[in-house]
With several copies, the nearest count.
Chain A
Amino acid sequence: MDATLARDWMRAAATAIAADTDRLTRLDAAIGDGDHGVNLHRGFTAVVAALEKSPPETVSEVLVKAGTTLISRVGGASGPLYGSALRAAGKALPATAEVQPSDLVAALHAGLEAVRRLGGAAPGDKTLIDAYGPALDAFEKAVAGGAGLAEAAGAAASAAEAGAEATVPLQARKGRASYLGKRSIGHQDPGAASTSLIFQALAEVA
């Protein structure tokens, strides 16, 4: 992956989120406060603008800039979480023009770690982690098996989607949905849904 591809990824993520803003917001209205789609749409629109204004030269810088932009433009729970994940992932990458799939495995681990540190959620708490975790596992396994970026990203996207769907029967233990207690059961977690979109975007451009 080079900086251009990383920028394409962010752009594709922005496009996917723009198309699904309403769905994400509806998911959040059911068990949260109904702003998740709007939050991420605002954030990724800003990310694309920031990356276009002064295009970074390395994947690392692309992800750090994307994360910083999300932190300073989104607010809510998703801003710091997605922002910190992208920043941590970027910082974990070498400052080279090109990065390898194995570098990305390490970067994605750093991102997940940042989310867990900041939000304190565990797998099964019905958060974006429940899509992120399986996606990372699948990506890692594919890379370990010798797959290229495209193939690994495809595996991650499928796993993320399955993970997001698997949040439906869970009871939320973190974030706003946890206030609903048992009533959170039966709805997909909006953050898991948007995480799935972001991995799908990677699979698309890879």
Chain B
Amino acid sequence: MKKFINDPADVVAQALRGLAAAHPELRVDTEEQYIVRADAPRAGKVGLVLSLIRISDGGFVGPGMLDAACPGEVFTSPVPDQILAATKAVDGGAGVVHIVKNYTGDVMNFQLAAELAADEGISVETVLVDDDVAVEDSTWTAGRRGTGATLLVEKITGARAEEGGKLGEIAALGREVNAASGSFAYALTAGTTPAAGRPGFDLPADEIEAGVGIHGEPGRRREKLRPAKDLVHSALDAILDAKSFTGPVIVLVNGLGGTPLIELYLIYGEVAAYLGERGVSIARQLVGNYVTSLDMAGMSLTLCQATDEMIRLWDAPVRTPGLRWGA
């Protein structure tokens, strides 16, 4: 394993220290391991807390988006203590929304934290994100995973919370965005966690994993590498089969951490062309490495069938390390 780290056991803590140094507009509690806006808690504002297992998501804390995020160990959900501490740090009396990606660990740890918060008199609403159409949503699985749509839920609910939206409304909006979103991902290579020290899986030189999540796990199936255009068509077909979108959609072309922008833009070109063919109009688009899986070379496509209100909130100012416009 080759990484720019000091000690595999201490990567998250040290990265958090760097994040704190690089972003004085955030407050990082390196003891309890959470990140909050420096101005938190704001009286009367609904707080948004993300279950986060990648430092890059810490990049989405700030005005117009998240109030806090709490990274667990790499690919491990945070613990209830941490989540509780972050929840308390952002509660301004108007309640707190937990944005939880649908993974067994995240769900359970947040559930425990929500119970602890309720004991302390904090109203918590949970928005479960489960947009990954690669997983069948059935009793045969733990349900669809939360992937790229998390960013959309964060951005859109974050903008509404900034405007003064109430707890129930924000939670409902988050669930609406999630229900209106679908994602599908491909991996060209496995990522390597610092603790494991070797790639999560081996992949022959001409094969890829289809239907991967964002924790380095293998996908639904292994396939031969195909041209980007084919992969884009298959991914969009999977999303459009699962969710019958007609547009306008917000499109996220997302790299999983090790994919250069030149490839992501090439992919976006194919996405735009194919959605045109299928008669799905595009309202907004975002291209980059946002919802990542360490150094995995891979990409995910997310579509969100957006209402006018969602588009308005998408366009609203946001000022975070990872996403910034209008501010």
Contact = CB atoms under 8 A, between A and B. Distances in A.
**Taking the complex as a whole, does A directly touch B, i.e. does some CB pair lie under 8 Å apart?**
yes
Given A33-B200, A180-B217, A75 B76 contact: yes
A144 to B, nearest CB: 33
Interface of A: 25, 29-35, 38-39, 42, 71-81, 118-119, 171, 173-176, 178-181, 183
B217 A80 contact: no
Interface in B77-94: 77-81
Interface residues of B, number: 39
A166 B234 CA distance: 36
Contact of B79 (A29, A73, A173): A73
A176 B142 contact: yes
A70 to B, nearest CB: 9
Q: Tell me which of A25, A29, A71, A171 has the highest count of chain B C-beta atoms within 10 A of its own C-beta.
A: A29
B216 interface: yes
A38 B73 contact: yes
Main secondary structure of the interface of A (DSSP, over half): helix
Interface of B: 72-81, 103-105, 108-109, 111-112, 134-136, 139-142, 145, 193, 195-196, 200-201, 211, 213, 215-221
A39 B193 contact: no
A78 B72 CA distance: 13
B74 A35 contact: yes
A72 B79 contact: yes
A76 B196 contact: no
A170 to B, nearest CB: 12
Nearest to B293: A33
27 contacts: A29-B196, A31-B217, A33-B193, A33-B200, A71-B80, A75-B73, A75-B76, A75-B78, A75-B79, A75-B109, A77-B103, A77-B105, A80-B112, A118-B108, A171-B140, A173-B139, A173-B140, A173-B141, A173-B142, A176-B217, A178-B135, A178-B140, A179-B141, A179-B211, A179-B213, A180-B219, A183-B220
Contacts of A171: 140
Given A35-B195, A76-B72, A173-B141, A179 B109 contact: no
A30 B213 CA distance: 14
Contacts of A174: 104, 142
A76 B213 contact: no
| Ranked 9 nearest A-B pairs via Cβ | A77-B105, A76-B105, A80-B108, A33-B215, A178-B141, A75-B72, A77-B104, A76-B76, A38-B195
Contacts of A173: 139-142
A34 B220 CA distance: 17
Q: Tell me which of B112, B139, B196, B213 has the highest count of chain A C-beta atoms within 10 A of its own C-beta.
A: B196
Given A75-B76, A80-B105, A35 B193 contact: yes
